[in-house]
A and B are shown apart, each in its own frame.
Chain A
Amino acid sequence: MRRTARDSEESARRVNRRALLMGGAMTAFVAVLGARMRYLQVDQAEKFQLLAEENRINIRLIPPSRGQILDRNGVLIAGNEQNYRVVITREDAGDMEQVLHRLQALIPLADEDVAEVVAEAKAVSPFVPITVADRLEWEEFSKIAVNGPTLPGVTPEVGLSRVYPLDRDFAHVVGYVGPVSERDLAELENPDPLLQIPKFQIGKIGVERWVEDTLRGKAGQKRIEVNHVGRVMRELDRVEGQPGDDIRLTIDAGIQNFAQVRLGEESAAAVAMDVQTGDILAIASAPSFDPNLFVRGISTRDYTALTENDHTPLANKTVQGAYPPGSTFKMVTALAAMAAGVADEKRTIRCPGYIEFGDRRFRCWNHGGHGAVNLSRALMESCDVYFYELAQEVGIDNIAAMGRKLGLGERPDLPMSAIGAGIMPDKAWKQEKYKEDWRVGDTINASIGQGYVLTTPLQLALMTARIASGTAVKPRLIHRVGNQTLPIDPAPALDIDMTHLAAVRAGMFDVMNAERGTAKRSRIVDETMLMAGKTGTAQVRNYNQGEAVAANDSLPWRLRDHALFVCYAPYDNPRYAVSIVVEHGGGGSLAAAPIGRDILLRCLTGGIPPLSAYPADQRNRIESQFNDMPLRAFGPEGPKPSRA
């Protein structure tokens, strides 16, 4: 079949027409592709560039090193320790179990730990390092470093972790740090992004917690490039953070240690304060605990031991414990009475050993009665009846007002945890709390620091400091932040007549130094350091009408009286005030006053108290007592270099 040339020409033209049509369609589509390219790459470039950067760049925070906590002379209380740990990376290790087995020969590592590490490593991407062991000794750490070539994937690392070299001494004041919990985050309105770092440590209680913002510092940042599975490819740049500021406390580590050791295993509290500045020199609660346990992660066994101990080592008794002040409250009643004009140094009241009010009989501790007592004798011999009588005339509201002037019933503003306000009751308080009217019997009880009155050891020290100095000093705990020594505001004078204060001080002097003073055995004989004080014995249970007051020795520990003691010295130029509470210690003069004297002397002399300050007949006993005290040796004073 031959086609004609005309047919052929015709069909070729047709093909050409169709070819041009197809070419046109292709061109149109290429134009669409070009337009789409332009739309994505030019019009929307910014949006996609942002998305690409988000894909690529992760911002990681660099935790700053935490500020150190030092005592007033620069002794390290809380520092940062290099923490040697070893991590393993699955993809570099190859056979993980074999590598870990070799590691077991170098460092103590339990089989269960190995299994745990292997399981953990399998759960994450192969390039994520897993911590195998933490807080290694330097020797172990160097062994691993030396054996590096036989341990593929194993990397020794150095981090910083908190350490408390004075362990027990500052557990209650300084507290401890721990990893951020969900609860911590929930409490904060605008949490620092640092807190999102896994296992980042923040202050949990005590100064660590309340000065957290100063100690923490500012996070640094590094921008890192990651690939599609999150592997870090390189670091793009880094901005170093700002380490936290160091803090110096007003506390003297030597006095603190002395107080802590002196309290021993009693359930007790001691506070020593500078009466002029309010600086707290020692604030010890016993028994104590080692805060390092909490930083490292306390075992259930240790924790149970702490919580089940009936001496409550975890409680900070100095600020948290609320005790009836007992007779140490009598200065408040006396000052209130003098301010109200119902008492002066001369007025005497006859003490028959009890008073009767309504159908109740309120006994003096001396059932035989003191006879005629004036203010000085009432304090010296701690006559209850004298104050029962005054209180009825003054009324509770005046007493409460005086108590508040001296710092009772108010929450001291200190960076510590669980600070209690105690109770300084008055008529309105009772109405509010119990919906009952105040009774005169309540006033009588309150006049000798029983009944509703509750105070903390810190408040008792503050009260004593205010009486001694005649100024409204405020307790201070922070001496210096960074390089800035905090200024001390001059304390305003107390709104109390100076002669009244002098009368009370004279009474407190007699307590220690007069022949019949209740704490005469605990006096200081050194003429330059004569002390004034007041003992207190607080009942912890109510005696029924007519029931004989049992001797403490015959009672179980829980039911024995609290022993209290407040004091200051030197009498003629007061510098330090001390308060002591020994829970269930029995009488204040026996259980508390000797401790108060020792701590006071430790403050005054700046070292182990000289035996010459003690009455001659006590020196042998005191000497052996000091020899038995496991005191910490502090090197030459001055800032210790941080180990970090």
Chain B
Amino acid sequence: MSFLEYRIKSAPTGLRKALHLHWALVLLICAVASVGWLMLYSVSGGRADLWAEPQMTRFGAGLFLMFFVAFVPIWFWKNMSVLAYGVAMLLLLYVEFFGHVGMGAQRWIDLGFIRLQPSEMMKVTLVMLLAAYYDWLDPKKVSRPLWVLLPVILIVLPVVLVLMQPNLGTSLLLLLIGAAVMFCAGVSLWYFGAVLGLAGSAIAAVFETRGTPWQFLHDYQYARIDTFLNPEADPLGAGYNIIQAKIALGSGGWGGKGFMQGTQSQLNFLPEKHTDFIFTTLAEEFGFVGAFSLLMLYGLIIAFCVISALQNRDRFSQLLILGVAANFFFYLAVNLSMVMGMAPVVGIPLPFLSYGGSVVMVLMVAFGLVQSAHIHRLR
């Protein structure tokens, strides 16, 4: 699709674009963010200034950013894809360079008003680049080895850089997002089967080499896996977080203990209660009803994205929307699995609930792209 086609198909222009925004999606996002502020207010013991207010400010900025991105025609963003990916790669290399200088696992760049995590940026730019790539590529060639190898390289480069930070969780997410876009673009299922097989062997290899000098993972990462497999073994050490999280979740019961009444979070038994483990506070204070409602809100956001993708006939737009949806899904899937004791603790925030600026900004830009694709779709 080109600029010409937009003109012909009479896409909305100017402020009329606002009428064609996917308002349901906007409302859902605001609803989830509001739940987030409520929980941040609760875990800070009734203080708004500690976490809730900064988070609201960021969300407000993010909302503005989303509308800005949404109003810019989608073809412009398609043309920006390569550039955006390049910038994100440079930033990743930059933090990698600083990391080696001696800042340890530095994962962000301090811009003063916000700490930008290039690895978070990469999640969106990777989706953009892959979507643009498959839009450009002749659909008949998507499963040819050479044309499969190229996007794989584009994915693996940032994955390796993030893994070296080291940030296992985000690198895994990048890999999954890239794979999701390739899957949606129609790459032959045989490739995925082969990769899954290889991954299985790799996992086996990781465990086989454990304890030898050439082991693949850090000891703390092995420890996290051990804790996941048997958290009760070290209830005061490695397993403490997950045990306390499960107690918080489980003790919420059907209806929860009431707002600000969660003993696990209010009395500080919960770890990381304002970031990665914020869901446990929600589950404790609002019970199964509250937790399941949040899950449904998330489900609706993803469902609306998928439906929007199905309505769209532009290949770039379709893949972009699906990529963003996949990105959003993986965030919450990994985080919820983690706090419910179904996956190792890897340090993935819960979108729009966990305290933190980078994720909100990046997600709002991503949803801005979705809106842009939605507004400027062929009718």
Contact = CB atoms under 8 A, between A and B. Distances in A.
Contacts of A33: 295, 333, 336-337, 340
B253 A19 contact: no
A23 B303 contact: yes
Contacts of B263: 52-53, 55-56, 225
Interface stretch (A36-44, A138-146, A629-637): A36-44
Contacts of B303: 23
Contacts of B183: 18, 21-22
Interface in A1-56: 1, 3, 7-8, 10-12, 14-16, 18-23, 26-27, 29-30, 33-34, 36-38, 40-42, 44-45, 47-49, 51-53, 55-56
Contact of A226 (B267, B322, B336, B342): B267
A492 B336 CA distance: 84
Interface residues of A, number: 44
Given A11-B315, A34-B292, A45-B254, A22 B180 contact: yes
B250 A47 contact: yes
A29 B334 CA distance: 11
A41 B288 contact: yes
A228 interface: yes
A110 interface: no
Interface string B250-276: 111110000000011001110000000
Contacts of B337: 33
B138 interface: yes
Contact of B139 (A10, A225, A226): A10
Contact of A26 (B287, B302, B336, B342): B302
A415 to B, nearest CB: 47
B139 A11 contact: yes
Given A48-B249, A48-B250, A55-B263, A40 B340 contact: yes
A326 B124 CA distance: 109
Contacts of A22: 180, 183-184, 306, 322, 326
B309 interface: yes
Contact of B246 (A21, A30, A40, A233): A40
Nearest to A10: B139
A38 B269 CA distance: 22
**Which of A14, A33, A44 is the most central at the interface, judged by chain B CB atoms within 10 Å of its CB?**
A33
A353 B318 CA distance: 135
Nearest to B291: A37
A7 B315 CA distance: 12
Q: Looking at chain B's contact residues, is the secondary structure mostly helix, strand, loop, or mixed? A: helix
Contacts of B249: 37, 40-41, 48
A227 interface: yes
A19 B306 contact: yes
Contacts of B292: 34, 37-38
B329 interface: yes
Nearest to A17: B186
B74 to A, nearest CB: 16
Interface string A177-193: 00000000000000000
B283 interface: yes
Nearest to A15: B318
Contacts of A45: 250-254
A227 B269 contact: yes
A227 B313 CA distance: 56
A228 B271 CA distance: 10
Nearest to A27: B299
8 contacts: A10-B139, A11-B139, A22-B322, A33-B340, A40-B250, A52-B284, A227-B268, A227-B269
Given A48-B248, A51-B251, A55-B263, 14 more contacts: A11-B315, A15-B309, A16-B318, A19-B322, A20-B306, A33-B333, A34-B295, A36-B342, A37-B249, A37-B291, A45-B250, A48-B251, A55-B244, A56-B264
Name the 7 nearest CB pairs between A and B, nearest first. A48-B250, A11-B139, A52-B251, A45-B253, A41-B288, A227-B267, A48-B251
